[in-house]
Each structure stands twice: as C-alpha cells, then as structure tokens.
Amino acid sequence: MLEELQRRHYSQATTQRYLRFVERFAQHFHCSPDRLGRQHIGEYQAQLFTVQKLSPGTVTNHLCALRFFYIQTLKKPWSIADTPYPKKRHRLPTILSQEEVGQLIDAAPTDFYRTVLMTLYATGVRNAELTRLKISDVDSQRMVLHVQGGKGRQDRDVMLSPVLLEELRAHWRRLRKRSSVWLFPGNRWHSSDQPMDTKTPRHACQYAARRAGIKKKVYPHVLRHCFATHLLEAGADLHTIQILLGHHDLKETAIYLHLSQRHLHATASPLDSLLLKGRPLPEG
C-alpha cells in the first residue's frame, strides 16, 4: 500500500494517515486486512460512530483509506452502496473583521509570533505551507512569495505585501542564528536547521486571541479564511482568489460569497419593502 500511495504522489501526511487507519482496522479485528471483507468494513464503520463517537468527516477519512487499500492494493471491488459515506455537516468558517485581525496581530506576545500572524493573513497560506517557507521563496524583485509543494503537491505564487516584506526583513535581523534555508526556523530560540512545526502558528493564534480578548476560536486557517473574505470584500474576483488559495475547484472558493459583507449587504431584505403599521413608507 505504501508503494502505491507514493507512486500516486500522495503527500507524506496523507500517506501516514491512510496507513494508520488501515492498521487500526486490522487491529480492531486482530486479523490481516486482506482477509477482511465488506461485512467487517460495515461493522467497523458502525463502531467508529457508536463507540468512538467520531465525526462524519473523520469516519469518511477512515473509509477513504480502506477504499484505497481494497481497490488499489488488493484490486478488489468496492461498493459505495454497501458502505455509504456519512453526510458531512457543512459549517461556515469563523471570520474575523479587519479590526479584529489588527487587534490579534498587535496582541502577539512576541515579535516572532507577530511575524507569523502577519504572514498567515497577508498571504492566505495554509499552516503546513507556512512552516515550509524558505528564504529563497521571498521574491522581492517580483513582489511575490513562492509556495512550493502545497496541497496536492501544487506550487503557486501569492502577492508579497510591502508591509509584510518590511516585517520579514525585520524578523530576519532579529534571529539569533540565521538558517541557510528556512524562513521560520524551529526550536524555542528559532535557531534550528529544521523548520518550525505546525504547533507554533497555532500557539501564536491562541495566545494572541486571548491577549486581544477575542472570544472566537482562532487558529491559522481562520486567517486564511479572513484573507479570502477580505479580498472579496475589497473587490477581488473569485477566480483570482481561487488561484491565490490554490483551490482546484471554484466551488471551494465560492463559500466566501456567504461570508463577504459586501455580498451579504448587496441585496436588501424583503422585510424592508413591507408597508407595516407605524413604519414610514420605504424610500424610492
């Protein structure tokens, strides 16, 4: 299975997750997975829901791993009808106003965290993409930031804000030991030869939100949502935002239409045109 995942260029994170899910499936029945069949998969799916209380999205991830294993590795048939994927609950993401984003950045407890938050918001990169940014990815001549090996192993360029460029230069001067590769080096003193891990941006969001008194749950992906929503509110078109975010399907980007104040307020509520007692006639 590992060879098949690598041959199809699945990311390392997805590969490890799929292998782990198949291993758990086998451990549950104390049996090699190639000796288990449709009935076992259905039983396991029910167990994930009723005993482990996993969300529909997590159960779907387990089923995707098993489906890949049976179809691609074992070359066995797989019936969606026999093991239907659970319906996901679609929730709109949390969005901060521009004022709240400013408060969040200003409340960062360290200069390093401040730079991390500014980069997340200014570029819309994913958390994992942020941690892998290299010094060579900062192109001040073209004023773009190169995002290499993003989701689906796709590269893309995003705008490099002059404000962010100035902040990144200040960040570079502040580092005690400058990495020859990584823009955001790891370890406590940010002096490692390895990049920072994905926990660091999460901590930056949590600590800053707490200090700013923001009650909403803030994590790195929230700033990605804010980047897209605020661009849309400023007049950017959906296709441009799709390219900047690295979305394969415009449907993924269209969710921001539901979050943009400009689009929400573009159409008046039908209540505004009703002739109600004690209410003045609507203008026009």
The active-site residue, picked from 151, 156, 211, 263, is 151
Q: Count the residues in the chain.
A: 284
Strand residue runs (E) in the chain: 138-139, 144-147, 156-159
Selecting among 10, 44, 113, 256, the annotated active-site residue is 256
Q: Does the active-site annotation cover 251?
A: no
Query: Is 90 known to be catalytic?
Result: no
Active site residue 256: yes
Q: Spell out the residues 6+ positions from residue 120 whose beta carbon is closer than 8 angstroms to its own.
A: 127, 130, 201, 220, 223, 224, 227
Indicate which residue of 126, 132, 171, 230 is catalytic.
Answer: 126
DSSP-derived 3-state class of residue 60: helix
190 is catalytic: no
Active-site annotation holder among 114, 224, 225, 230: 224
Count Cβ neighbours within 10 Å for each residue of 53-66 and write b for 16 or more, e otherwise: ebeeeebbbbbebb
Both tokens assigned to 229: 């929503």
Distance between CA atoms of residues 200 and 180, nearest Å? 20
Determine whether 221 is an active site residue. yes
Q: How far is CA 53 from the centre of its chain?
A: 23
Residue positions annotated with a catalytic role = 126, 151, 221, 224, 247, 256
